[in-house]
Structure formats: structure tokens, C-alpha cells
Structure 1
Amino acid sequence: MATPRDWPAIWTFMREIAAAGETFSWDRDISEERARERWMGELPRRTVVAVDDDGAVVGSAVSGPNHEGPAAHIATASFMVDPGKSGRGAGRALGEHVLAQARADGFRGMQFNAVVDSNTRAVNLWHSLGFTTMTVIPEAFHHPAKGYVGLHIMFQAF
């Protein structure tokens, strides 16, 4: 589990990712307060970090129920990896951990609501971890360089 001590490191790359506007559907100028509120929640949400061999935070994920009430048995998760540390397995490690935790918590599946189509590394990672793209909503994401691109809704049953 992430601790309050992890927040400054998370915010460093989270701010960069949000400001770039290429892979995450948050306001590009999200405040630190709002980002922390969305990411560092209380149970049933769980926030975790990935660290490198030196103990530096290189990525983070938040997971929990996708909806409430009669739909609370399906989990969801969001992931951010420091762009300067990508391609080293942090995203895969976070994905595997979050999936295992969701299974252990008794969820019946996991749904991703908004995986940007042009983020092919993420789309390929989630497919390799057993997710299926249920649909792609055309032009649902406005990429700063590529214009309007699709958003994948992805699912994996447990």
C-alpha cells in the first residue's frame, strides 16, 4: 500500500502525465489537492506503488470497485508510470499486483473504462494480461497531437 510519504514522488510524474494530456483523461492542469484526493483514497480503494532497486517510486496504481451497489463486484484500476522509467516492467508489475489483489478481495472481474487507443503500449500490456477490448468508443479522447482518438473499454473476468 502507498503511504503519505509516497505522495511527493507520485505527484512528480503524475503532474507530468496529466499535463501532457496524451494518456490520462484528467484535466491537464489538475491541482495537486484534487489529484491526491482522487488517487490516495481510503478502502475499499487501494493505492500501491512500484519501486526500483534503489527504492525510488517509479509508478503507482489505484484500484477498487468500478461502481457501487449491485455493480460493486467488478473492480477498476488506474495506472501511472514515470515516463522516464517506462519500459522497465513497472506497469506489468503493477497490473499483475492489482489483478491478484482484486481476485483476493473477491471481485468477479476488472473493467478499464478509458484506455486511450493511441497508447498502444498500455493496450498491448492489458491484452497480454488477459483483458479483452469490449469496444472502442470512437473519438472519445482528444489527444493534443493526434486529435480525436478512441477509448478502449476493457474487461477481464475472474
Structure 2
Amino acid sequence: MLRPIFAEGRTYTVPPDADDAWVTRMWMLPPPARVVVAVRDGRVVGTAKTGPNQAGPGSHVATASFAVEAGEAGRGTGRALGEHVLALARADGYSAMQFNAVVATNTRAVALNAVVATNTRAVALWHSLGFATVGTVPDAFTLPDGTTTGLHVMHRYL
């Protein structure tokens, strides 16, 4: 489910040609991270992951990443995943959740949790769930047509 989203190159800082092994390492993080899925009619149509945003002194703040199939747009799947992950993070004792600009390489999978500025549906969803855009890294994301856009750093207390 993730590879077509990543290959589109519009919402994640993932190499568009990332193979299954790379995607699995990046998404299926070990505990204390959690991965959840949304299922409709017996098939996975969305997924999310959450865990500490940083190690050590930053581990009291959670982060999360979300992916929903294009055909699920407007059906509430993203909102349901968002609400569920916020509740999980709260229950796990995190004090806040932060989406921040990070870097991914072809050799190392890292947390990918910034919000691409042109992903207006996601930006609107996170704002409606109480997140504030606290900054934007300008021109940090290259779209498939070669133009660049920003990556939003978003934050919300739990």
C-alpha cells in the first residue's frame, strides 16, 4: 500500500524507487514505536506509525507518519488514523506530538514526518486536529515537476 504513495513523490521524503525492504525498515519501527492500519472491506487502506520524535531528552514528544490510499480521500480514514494515533501517544505518556523536517537517504531509513506544504488536505486535517504550523523549511521538498515547496514543522500538546 505504501509504495504507490511514495512513488508518486508528492507527500513523503522517500526515494520514489524505494524497494519493499527499504519501505519495511522505514515504516515498521521497533518498540516503543507502534504501527496501526485502517481496514475497509478486508483490505488495508491506510496506515500510521508513532513513537518518540527524538532519543533521550526529546523522547517525551511523539511523532507520527500517516499514509492513506488515494481512493480513500474524503472518507474519514485519515482523520480516524489521526485521532487513534493521538490517543495512543497520549496513553503512552507523551506530552506532545511533533511533525518535523527530516532527511532520508537511500541507505538509511529514518522517521519521515514533516508535512509537505502543498499537501493541503493533510495540512487542513492536522490543523483541524489541533496542530499548529510552527515553522516551514523553505524549498526543502522537490515535487515531481522539479519545483520546490516547503516542509511544515507542526506541533500539538497532548
* Equivalent-residue separation in structure 1 for 2:70 and 2:97 (angstroms): 25
1:55 to partner: Cα distance: 2.4
Aligned partner of 2:55 in structure 1 is 68
The amino acid of 1:93's aligned partner reads A
Q: 3-state SS of the aligned residue for 1:64? A: strand
- Tell me the C-alpha RMSD between the 2 structures: 1.0
Mind listing any 5+ residue stretches in structure 1 that lack a counterpart? 1-12
Mind listing any 5+ residue stretches in structure 2 that lack a counterpart? 101-113
Aligned partner of 2:109 in structure 1 is none
The amino acid of 1:61's aligned partner reads A
Indicate how the Cα distance of structure 1 residues 123 and 146 shifts in structure 2: closer, same or farther if over 3 A, else same: farther
Q: 3-state SS of the aligned residue for 2:14? A: coil
The amino acid of 1:102's aligned partner reads A
Q: Which segments of structure 1 move beyond 2 Å, counting only runs of 4 or more?
A: none
**What are the Cα deviations for residues 51-92 of structure 1, in whole angstroms up to 9, with x where unaligned?**
11x222110001100000011000000000011222211100
| Structure 1 residue 103 corresponds to structure 2 residue 52 | no
1:144 to partner: Cα distance: 1.0
TM-score by length of 2: 0.89
Identical-residue share of aligned pairs (%): 54
1:146 to partner: Cα distance: 6.5
1:107 to partner: Cα distance: 0.2
Aligned partner of 2:77 in structure 1 is 90
Q: 3-state SS of the aligned residue for 2:10? A: coil
TM-score by length of 1: 0.89
Aligned partner of 1:59 in structure 2 is 46
Correspondent of 1:46 among 34, 42, 53: 34
The amino acid of 1:101's aligned partner reads L
How many residue pairs get aligned? The number is: 145
Aligned partner of 1:19 in structure 2 is 7
Greater percentage in helix: 1
Q: 3-state SS of the aligned residue for 2:63? A: strand
* Equivalent-residue separation in structure 2 for 1:146 and 1:96 (angstroms): 34
